[in-house]
Amino acid sequence: MAKQKPRTLSGFMELLPQRQVQFDRMVELLRSSYSRYGFTPLDTPVIEASEVLLAKAGGETEKQIYRFLKGDTDLSLRFDLTVPLAKYVALHYADLAFPFRRFQIGKVYRGERAQRGRFREFYQADIDIIGDGKLDIVNEAEIPSIIYQTFTALGLKRFQIRVNNRKILNGFYAMLGLTDKSGDIMRTVDKLEKIGPEKVAALLTGEEIGITSEQADEILKFIAIQGDNDHVLAALAGYQGRHELFDHGLEELTTVVKYLSAFGVPQTHFAVDLTIARGLDYYTGTVYETTMLDHPEIGSICSGGRYDNLAEYYTDKQLPGVGISIGLTRLFFVLEDQGYLNEEMVTAPADVLILPMTQDLAPAISFATQLRSAGVRAQLYTEQKKFKQKMTYADKIGVPYVAFLGDDEISQNAVSVKDMTTGQQETLPVSEAVSTIATKLNERMAGVEPIREPDHKA
Amino acid sequence: MAKQKPRTLSGFMELLPQRQVQFDRMVELLRSSYSRYGFTPLDTPVIEASEVLLAKAGGETEKQIYRFLKGDTDLSLRFDLTVPLAKYVALHYADLAFPFRRFQIGKVYRGERAQRGRFREFYQADIDIIGDGKLDIVNEAEIPSIIYQTFTALGLKRFQIRVNNRKILNGFYAMLGLTDKSGDIMRTVDKLEKIGPEKVAALLTGEEIGITSEQADEILKFIAIQGDNDHVLAALAGYQGRHELFDHGLEELTTVVKYLSAFGVPQTHFAVDLTIARGLDYYTGTVYETTMLDHPEIGSICSGGRYDNLAEYYTDKQLPGVGISIGLTRLFFVLEDQGYLNEEMVTAPADVLILPMTQDLAPAISFATQLRSAGVRAQLYTEQKKFKQKMTYADKIGVPYVAFLGDDEISQNAVSVKDMTTGQQETLPVSEAVSTIATKLNERMAGVEPIREPDHKA
């Protein structure tokens, strides 16, 4: 028969088993972390009607959409989890209680140009809190604590959550009479780290944007405000009283900072950063970015913010919210690439590989059943292979324990257990073997997080 | 602004939060059950190159595919998890250890005619064991025990796993010299329950199939063999020695039945059933179906079997395997429809809703943090609403506990906890409140399975 060469599309992550276990463990920890903060899981369709999904889209996003006809129906694959959330909340409004706190971890699709570390199918892990008409500012203070707890649970230590407030930025540009140009200005200011203040000033005063050099100086002075949070807030207080929006934003930022320590976010992991803007129109209050301290070049690994109107394309209801998103597939790629995945995690398909050494398999099957009842993952190996091949298999799957049941063991109602890490082997009564293995596995897995930062960074 | 009416495509399941929690709990139990048997999780792309995905497809399946061009690339959405597995194993052969045991729970797509209870996007939950060249028969005996343990873990009790062996069927038809017509015959015999033996005989001897009435009698006699497993095996022994394939199949079936009780499958939940055929070409040995005893009309809720050649369209390697699949979305629909979902499950987004009654939120935030550290899901409610509205919210999300922190409580480092089920309220020291709530929740959740069969069926 002619064979079709098997391949996986470029831009689509397909992991080998050991890596998949690590990825799934991260998803499990995200679910658990989000759940503890009272978010409920959602799972919306991957395919939506194009007219619904693209009600708001445009520009670069629209070009990247996987869009096609099935029969006469114009369909699109979701490109994020926010638009499906907006649709969901507008559609099921009457059945939901607000504030509505949901998380969703699912695949989204963007036909980006293929390049290393860029994915066309990738997981997003989102949380959002949606209010009905209003949403209290305390929610905006809780979000960084969720980011902090979540990455800490994954095993990441050296990261920082950066926070700003769009009202402060918009208010500041309004003070200077530059509201119309604020979009262009913020895009230019974004290049500060890359090209330096002089070139930024030149661009700002150049033909395209055309603000005065006094205005450019004011802007550069403003975004240069940095230091610890108290210092930044004090410097911002110097601008107070000149514009209502600015004052409101400063009040919000002060509240967010005030509650952070109550929420358990250490000062080391949090900074007010006036250079964070996060797009132009959607966000209206607090905005968040999260950077790995040793890999700032990767950009933000968790971003989001406050918005005033989640579902304006679908409903007249005012639905303000605040949310964050982790691009999980890219994050996983980066973690692997930088050697951050903890190789001490047990990634074998089973905890115990059972090798029956007799014709009658009943004792081995019974042992497997007892292990499984105790929550231990057990695989029965019954292929007709030489002993050496069986042990090679055990090594290849990386199983922590191998159990042998020969005539001697069976006659004593015992089992010989080999610890594949230490190489030690002992013969134990069956019930003792089950409890010993279960205990040792628990010890071994306690505190083993999927991420372990390389030593030289610690 | 003109509004786009929000809607979800027909044939796409989108659950309300409480139902989603129940669905997710089922997925979690499936993952846990499959893991205990030593299966490793996989997650392959939803989109594949059409030439790869459709290397084997044809007929009805091909018509249902979501297939489209993105740029010049011909893409298709996966329509099952078996073809992606075949691709995966062929592609990553050198990196895998065999037997390769994997599970995958993911969405697949089929553009079926829309009708109630039929889905175009649906979850499949599959396990497969793939051998390299050979695969021991014991794997075929282990599969029913996985089916049994999995449905039992979900809370289903009244179901039966039906097993047959394709070698027995093919051998039997070969005995009668009817190998060429076996496909047509099996399709006709499948109608037995619906149209009765006389009409089946008429069809078999009719123009289209055209076997003799003696042959038809032989067939009807054969498939009428039923009763307990020993009886069926004894009756089958009467056909022994007439065809090698039949004898081989009977030997396999006998082995599978022999090991079932060792694997812990009760006689009540297992039957040899000679009417089970499962398609025509793919399966070559043991085949499985699973039926709900009180709803046989639903058909099989978990099916599969042994095949000799998983990836023949991609590789010359002989990769035999055995696997089963649960159509999870349809199963969930049926369970809800028939009142099988356990409404006692906690489906609220949080276990505790914390209502701060003071201006300073620090004590409430601290209590939330302590609950979360203890693994209790806690939501802080800080919206500016009247007390009654807050309690209405608590009722609407179905939260088990509401915690109040007013001046009195705070001054005593205490919290008032209301059990929303009993209506009882008590004031406890904060740390005691945390441990009391955690303990009560564990008690409440112990043994609460997502499925509870209606009482009148018990």
How far is it, in rounded angstroms, from Cα A276 to Cα A160? 13
Average pLDDT on A22-31 reads 98
Q: What is the pLDDT of residue A126?
A: 98
Average pLDDT on B218-246 reads 95
DSSP B455: G
CA angle A174, A175, A178 (to 5 degrees): 45
Confidence category of residue B456, pLDDT binned at 50, 70, 90 = low
Q: What is the pLDDT of residue B280?
A: 60
The region that residue A252 occupies, defined by phi over 0 for left and psi between -120 and 50 for alpha, beta otherwise, is: alpha
Give residue-wise pLDDT tens across range A30-46.
Answer: 999 999 999 999 999 99
Average pLDDT, chain A: 94
How far is it, in rounded angstroms, from Cα A36 to Cα A152? 14
Q: Which is nearest to B33 in space by CA: B166, B158, B171, B154?
A: B154
Bond prior to B99 in cis (omega within 30° of 0): yes
Alpha helices in A161-212 (DSSP H): 166-175, 182-189, 192-205
The Cα-based distances of B355 to A113, A127, A140, B321 in angstroms read: 49, 22, 17, 56
Dump the DSSP string for A371-425.
HHHTT--EEE------HHHHHHHHHHHT-SEEEEE-HHHHHTTEEEEEETTT--E
Least confident of A304-318, B31-45, B111-125, B351-365: B111-125
> 96-125 in B: which are within 8 Å (CB) of A?
96-99, 101-102, 107, 109, 111, 120-121
Name the residue with higher pLDDT: B276 or A397: A397
- Find the residue in B nearest to A89 (Cα): B6
Q: What is the pLDDT of residue B329?
A: 97
Q: Which residues of A41-74 are buried (b: 16+ CB within 10 A; e: fewer)?
A: bbbbbbbbbbebbbbbbeeeeeebbbbbebeeee
Nearest to A91 among B7, B365, B380 (CB): B7
Confidence category of residue A183, pLDDT binned at 50, 70, 90 = confident
Q: Which is nearest to B378 in space by CA: B387, B366, B389?
A: B366
Does the beta-carbon distance from A46 to B107 stay under 8 Å? yes
Q: Which is nearest to A156 in space by CA: A299, A20, A291, A333?
A: A291
Cα dihedral B309→B311→B314→B316 (10° resolution):
-40
Does the beta-carbon distance from A138 to B361 stay under 8 Å? yes
Give residue-wise pLDDT tens across range B258-308.
Answer: 998 889 999 999 999 998 887 667 899 999 999 999 999 889 999 999 999
Average pLDDT on A326-341 reads 96
> Where does residue B92 rank: exposed (0-12), middle (13-18), buried (19+ CB within 10 A)?
middle
Confidence category of residue B457, pLDDT binned at 50, 70, 90 = very low
Q: Report the Cα–Cα distance between both ends of chain A, in Å, rounded.
A: 56
Confidence category of residue A457, pLDDT binned at 50, 70, 90 = very low
Chain centre distance of CA B87: 22
Q: How far is A4 from chain B (nearest CA, A)?
A: 5
Identify all chain B residues contacting A73, using CB atoms and an 8 Å cutoff. Answer: 9
Q: Check pLDDT > 80 for residue A60.
A: no
Average pLDDT on A298-314 reads 95
Is B153 an 8 Å CB contact of chain A? no
Q: How far is A13 from chain B (nearest CA, A)?
A: 7
Mutate to test the interface with A, among B12, B14, B39, B119 (most CBs of A within 10 A): B14
Q: Cβ distance A182 to A190 under 8 Å?
A: no
Helix (H, G, I), strand (E, B) or coil at B48: strand
Average pLDDT on A209-236 reads 94
Q: How far is A43 from chain B (nearest CA, A)?
A: 7
- Rounded to 5 degrees, φ, ψ at A361 are -90, -5
> Where does residue A175 rank: exposed (0-12), middle (13-18), buried (19+ CB within 10 A)?
middle
Confidence category of residue B458, pLDDT binned at 50, 70, 90 = very low
Q: What is the pLDDT of residue B113?
A: 82
Average pLDDT on A81-109 reads 98
Q: What is the pLDDT of residue B171?
A: 95
Average pLDDT on A354-366 reads 95
Cα dihedral A73→A79→A80→A82 (10° resolution):
-40
- Residue A236 structure tokens: 């911002």
Average pLDDT on B391-404 reads 97
Is B386 an 8 Å CB contact of chain A? no
How far is it, in rounded angstroms, from Cα A415 to Cα B112? 52
Give chain A's domains with CATH numbers: 12-158+294-347 (3.30.930.10), 162-271 (no CATH), 352-443 (3.40.50.800)
Identify all chain A residues contacting B138, using CB atoms and an 8 Å cutoff. Answer: 361, 380, 382
How far is it, in rounded angstroms, from Cα A229 to Cα A373? 52
Question: Which positions ≥6 away from A449 have C-beta within 8 Å?
Answer: A29, A153, A154, A155, A342
Percentage of chain A surpassing pLDDT 70?
98
How far is it, in rounded angstroms, from Cα A186 to Cα A191? 9
Q: Check pLDDT > 50 for residue B332.
A: yes
Is B138 an 8 Å CB contact of chain A? yes
Q: Cβ distance B328 to B105 under 8 Å?
A: yes
DSSP B417: E
Question: Which positions ≥6 away from B409 have C-beta within 8 Å?
Answer: B363, B415, B416, B427
Beta-strand ranges (E) seen in B242-320 are 270-272, 283-292, 303-307
Name the residue with higher pLDDT: A262 or B98: B98
Q: Which residues of B156-176 are buried (b: 16+ CB within 10 A; e: fewer)?
A: bbebbbbbbbbbbbbbbbbbb
Q: What is the pLDDT of residue A280?
A: 60
> Hunting for tokens 């807030």 — which residue is that?
A233
> 30-59 in B: which are within 8 Å (CB) of A?
35-49, 51-52, 55
The region that residue B15 occupies, defined by phi over 0 for left and psi between -120 and 50 for alpha, beta otherwise, is: beta
Percentage of chain B surpassing pLDDT 90?
86
Q: Is the ipTM of this complex over 0.90?
A: yes
